[in-house]
Structure 1
Amino acid sequence: MNLKERSKQLKIDIPAIFIALREKETPVIAKILAGVTIAYALSPIDLIPDFVPVLGYLDDVIILPLLITLTVRLIPADKFAECRLMAEGLWADGKPKKWYLALPIVAIWVIVIYSIIRIIWF
């Protein structure tokens, strides 16, 4: 699988992991790792900031695919295949149909910005 195909697969795997997180058949350890993977994928905070030359982006290129691969291996294959099919339906029109799933991330950003403003002004 070349890099372009792998990046397209990641676009489906991340939502599929989120869907698998909510399934009863997913083992507990896979749910914990799935939560970490989703949090890392959506988090604006990286282990190595992106402004650090080369290393900042290598962090995203190496750590995120490793987390995704490990999470996928812990989820039963048939269940993850089902979750991938559901995830493909999310991107049918070019954007997710369930946009409200982004609200927790927006809420985190609002809290962070509010906290920074509060620290600066008070």
Structure 2
Amino acid sequence: MEQQNTLTKLKNYARKLKQNLFVLYLSYKDNRVPWFAKLVAICVVAYAFSPIDLIPDFIPIIGYLDDLIIVPLGISLALKLIPAYIIEENKEKAAEIRKNGKPKNWFAAVLFILIWLLLALWIGKLIYGIVQS
């Protein structure tokens, strides 16, 4: 029971953090944001808005790792790197964008497909090399 309660708290915390994705989306376009904060924000937003996960959800346990740990950690890091006044300015704009729905990032989706294809190719070559030995 306690483990389920902890998991529920973790999911709620992750959901709350994910509401800041639109703030990050607006912030990385702001010229006042330092380049390293922009880089982190772009990576987090691209991954979160991608229609395809790097780690598919159907893989037991680690499939939800990105949704519960990786994305929230990335959001937290990006929010700490961006000046607070910029985040506050973008919160109202972000609420409007959130009402219109989540945008899709097809570039990130294609990138993840390429990563999985290269991984499959590498594993195939590895297996082929073992079989040939």
RMSD: 2.7
Runs of at least 5 residues in structure 1 that lack an aligned partner in the other structure? 113-122
State the match for 2:117 in structure 1: none
Deviation at residue 8 of structure 1 after TM alignment: 4.0
Q: Please report how far the alpha carbon of residue 34 of structure 1 lies from its aligned counterpart in structure 2 after TM superposition.
A: 0.8
Superposed displacement of residue 6, structure 1: 5.2
The residue type paired with residue 105 of structure 1 is W
Q: Specify whether residues 5 and 50 from structure 1 end up closer, same or farther in structure 2 by C-alpha distance, changes over 3 A only.
A: closer
Pair 5,36 (structure 1): closer, same or farther in 2 beyond 3 Å: closer
The answer for the alignment partner of 1:55 in structure 2 is: 62
Unaligned runs of 5+ in 2: 1-8, 114-133
Give the Cα–Cα distance (whole angstroms) in 2 for the partners of residues 10 and 45 of structure 1.
15
Match of 2:43 in 1: 36
Pick one of 35, 50, 75 that aligns with 2:82.
Answer: 75
- Say which one has the larger Rg: 2
Distance 1:10 1:59, change over 3 A: closer
Distance 1:6 1:52 in 2: 20
Distance across 2 between alignment mates of 1:37 and 1:76: 17
Count of paired positions: 102
> Counterpart in 2 of 1:120?
none
Stretches of 4+ aligned residues off by more than 2 angstroms = 2-6
SS at match of 1:66: helix
1:1-38 Cα distance to aligned partner (Å, 9 max, x none): x5536514522x10110100110111100001111101
